[in-house]
Amino acid sequence: MEREVVVENVTKKHDNPIAELVQVACQFDSNIILESDNRKINAKSIMGIMAFNPSQGMTVKIVTEGNDEEAALSAIETFLQCK
């Protein structure tokens, strides 16, 4: 599954958004890839997320694959859009 989202101000809602995003991703068995500007990173990699640095206004494509891909996609989308 995949969906494009625009990142909201995650630093305003979360104390440590990079670590918290990785924690959300690690709750799922599915592979979760974030894509933007020809960069693809594993959402379960803290170093990858630090380099990716999702920030407000950034368009990110979330790609999930696995037995819980729908729930994983929803959780990452909710996190990035601060819902």
Residues annotated catalytic, as ranges: 14
Q: How far is CA 44 from CA 11, 24, 56, 68, 69, in A?
A: 19, 8, 20, 15, 14
Rounded Cα distance, 75 and 83, in Å: 10
